[in-house]
Amino acid sequence: MEKLTHFNEEGRARMVDVSAKAETGRRAVARGEVRMRPETLALIRAGGLAKGDVLAVAQVAAVMGAKKTAGLIPMCHPLFLSGINVSFALNEAESKVEIEAEVKNHGQTGVEMEALTAVSVAALTIYDMCKAAEKTMEITGIVLVSKSGGKSGDYRRED
């Protein structure tokens, strides 16, 4: 097991020093879902919620969330992101909205936290937009799907 990197010799939290790391192309993909009643999913599909187009707002929120990750997660580095793509799938059979976010940059540290934050903020936005119709929605399954670039190499989640 590898040691945790966000602690100094005294065991106190620190931001990892990445100044000696090479800049490389980096990419991360995360996913998650919001489970809900079929009636709520139908309202999203039909655009029948008073607050507007749920998925359009969630998409913008996800991009904003990825860009603000360093301001939310204390030990994350502020990054210049070169690309953010967020997609949604309405899964009628399981009554859920599936969210996937891909984040890219060229830098000294990875973008996993930015991808995970994008998915989380999108899910929270969907909840906020739909809570008047349903309060029992469940945000679940937020995971890192893959990452590439950097010293630690590539990772792909096996489900």
Give catalytic residue positions.
Answer: 128
SS3 per-residue string spanning the chain: CCCCCCECCCCCECCCCCCCCCCEEEEEEEEEEEECCHHHHHHHHHCCCCCCCHHHHHHHHHHHHHHCHHHHCCCCCCCCCCEEEEEEEEECCCCEEEEEEEEEEEECCCCHHHHHHHHHHHHHHHHHHHCCCCCCCEEEEEEEEEEECCCCCCEECCC
Q: In what order do the strands lie in the sheet with 24-35?
A: 83-91, 96-107, 24-35, 138-148, 155-156
